[in-house]
């Protein structure tokens, strides 16, 4: 019985960690998108100020060129983070499935023994 409780705690911990990881990646994506928008506005402002919008033009603003490069790097980082997000969400789904399986096994074991685990009761009322 004790090992089942330990297994449930382990799965709950892992599920919580996966949820935090997904939330962290999502926060980073949102933050990078905000920075991307700021850099994009900075590029447009600088281009309108100088009147030169072609990055290949000899008189193109170095400030705009620099902001454009940083903006493009952010977009690549966002794409990589989205890939990581997909992987993290898949790992979370697997871990949630394992947790449900462990909870169902614990519940069946409790019904067979007539005992009620406080963790199982709290999990069902919270879920």
pLDDT of 8-63, one tens digit each? 899 999 999 999 999 999 999 999 999 999 999 999 999 999 999 999 999 999 99
Question: Contact, 37 vs 76, CB < 8 A?
Answer: no
Can you give the pLDDT at residue 1? 54
Note the pTM of the prediction, 2 decimals: 0.75
Q: How far apart are CA 79 and CA 94, in angstroms?
A: 23
pLDDT of 65-108, one tens digit each? 999 999 999 999 999 999 999 999 999 999 999 999 988 988 88
Q: How far apart are CA 43 and CA 80, in angstroms?
A: 23
SS3 content of the chain, % helix, strand, coil (to 5): 85, 0, 15
To which H or E segment does residue 123 belong? helix 118-126
């Amino acid at each position: 019985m004790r090992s089942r409780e330990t297994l449930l705690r382990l799965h709950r911990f892992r599920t919580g960690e996966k949820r935090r990881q997904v939330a962290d990646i999502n926060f980073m994506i949102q933050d990078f998108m905000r920075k991307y928008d700021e850099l994009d506005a900075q590029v447009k402002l600088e281009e309108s100020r100088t009147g030169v919008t072609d990055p290949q033009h000899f008189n193109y603003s170095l400030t705009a060129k620099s902001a454009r490069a940083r903006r493009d790097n952010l977009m690549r980082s966002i794409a990589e983070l989205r890939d990581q997000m997909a992987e993290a969400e898949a790992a979370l789904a697997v871990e949630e499935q394992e947790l449900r399986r462990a909870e169902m096994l614990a519940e069946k074991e409790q019904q067979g023994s007539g005992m009620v685990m406080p963790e199982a009761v709290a999990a069902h009322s919270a879920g």
